[in-house]
């Protein structure tokens, strides 16, 4: 899948912009963007800036609109009951957790985004924050810091580790 994106984009736009767009995609996110950058020979500083910005860009949109989309789904016959139940339960639980453990929740959100594993990252972290009803102003910073931490880890894996092992990209 990643190779199909690379092939499509590299014929039309610069490699760093390809990495930017790949970093915006759910599932691939920053991990896919930095690996692509390494494979395309994009300098690591340029790759980091492009991938971090590409990964952080969807966060405010998700935080602002995912609950509105869920609310709209709640008005449909097909998804109404499930969406409404999910939204009420998540908001109730999120409010309880934020009142009881405000700093632990935000640190947990940071750690979740910072660990570059499949299904962790800015998209999933933003969805969790939105579904728990965390305030946008309080949840954006831990997510953004998590993206920066994940970028450092992925830089080592995508750029430094192959060089140390004698692989030349």
Please tell me the total count of domains within the chain. 2
| Statement to judge: residues 30 and 105 lie in one domain | no
Which residue range forms the structural domain that includes residue 16? 2-56+151-164
| Statement to judge: residues 97 and 36 lie in one domain | no
Between CA 28 and CA 44 the distance in angstroms is 18
pLDDT value of position 151:
97
Q: What is the mean pLDDT of the chain?
A: 86
- pLDDT band of 168, cuts 50, 70, 90: low
Q: What percent of the chain has a predicted confidence (pLDDT) above 90?
A: 51
- pLDDT band of 59, cuts 50, 70, 90: very high
| Statement to judge: residues 135 and 77 lie in one domain | yes
Q: Residue 7 domain-assigned?
A: yes
pLDDT value of position 1:
65
60/73: higher pLDDT: 60
Q: Residue 169 domain-assigned?
A: no
Between CA 53 and CA 74 the distance in angstroms is 32
| Statement to judge: residues 144 and 62 lie in one domain | yes
| Statement to judge: residues 72 and 47 lie in one domain | no
């Amino acid at each position: 899948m990643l190779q199909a994106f690379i092939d499509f984009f590299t014929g039309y736009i610069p490699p760093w912009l390809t990495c930017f767009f790949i970093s915006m995609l759910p599932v691939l996110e920053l991990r896919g963007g930095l690996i692509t950058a390494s494979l395309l020979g994009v300098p690591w500083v340029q790759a980091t800036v492009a991938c971090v910005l590409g990964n952080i860009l969807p966060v405010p949109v998700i935080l602002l609109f995912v609950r509105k989309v869920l609310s709209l789904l709640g008005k449909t016959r097909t998804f109404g009951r499930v969406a409404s139940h999910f939204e009420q339960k998540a908001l109730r639980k999120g409010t309880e957790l934020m009142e009881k453990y405000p700093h632990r929740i935000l640190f947990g959100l940071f750690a979740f985004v910072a660990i570059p594993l499949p299904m962790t990252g800015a998209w999933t972290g933003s969805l969790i924050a939105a579904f728990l009803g965390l305030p946008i102003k309080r949840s954006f910073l831990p997510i953004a810091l998590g993206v920066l931490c994940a970028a450092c880890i992925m830089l080592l894996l995508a750029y430094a580790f192959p060089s140390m092992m004698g692989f030349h990209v």
